[in-house]
Amino acid sequence: MTDWVVRPDGGRPEGRGCAHLPQADAAPTPLSAACQECAARGGGGGGLRLCLACGHMGCSDSAPGAHATAHFEATGHPLVRSADPGEAWAWCYVDEVFLQPHGGTPT
């Protein structure tokens, strides 16, 4: 069982589900505290996203590198969660739905 569920509206008007929830690690160990690729280049990526399959930390699509999406494209790992303080949501790249904590409210 996972700690995530699809938001009631799915984040999309058509209310899609997510077939990838069983693959999610509820608490993966982050491989770093910052975007790994940005840190390797001496910068800091904004909007951190944690891969729920392997713990890769990447920056969001709003950051110049969009390394979380690049990680998905390279590995096929479909689920990330926000690692930004005060945010409690996740995203499935394949099904294009937002997720919220089980029994919780998204922020």
For residue 106, being part of any structural domain is answered with no
CA distances (Å), origin 37, targets 47, 68, 71, 79: 13, 10, 10, 19
Domain CATH for 83: 3.30.40.10
Flag the least confident range among 17-21, 52-56, 78-82.
17-21
Question: Is residue 49 included in any domain, yes or no?
Answer: yes
Residue 3 has pLDDT above 90, yes or no: no
- pLDDT, one tens digit per residue, over 59-101 is 999 988 899 999 999 999 999 999 999 998 999 999 888 888 8
- The domain containing residue 71 runs over which residues? 4-101
Whole-Å CA distances, 107 to 27, 44, 77: 18, 23, 23
> What value, to the nearest 5°, has the Cα angle with vertex 101 and ends 71 and 21?
50
In this prediction, residue 37 carries a pLDDT of 92
| Domain count within the chain | 1
Strands 48-51 and 57-59: antiparallel
Whether 28 is covered by a domain: the verdict is yes
107 belongs to a structural domain? no
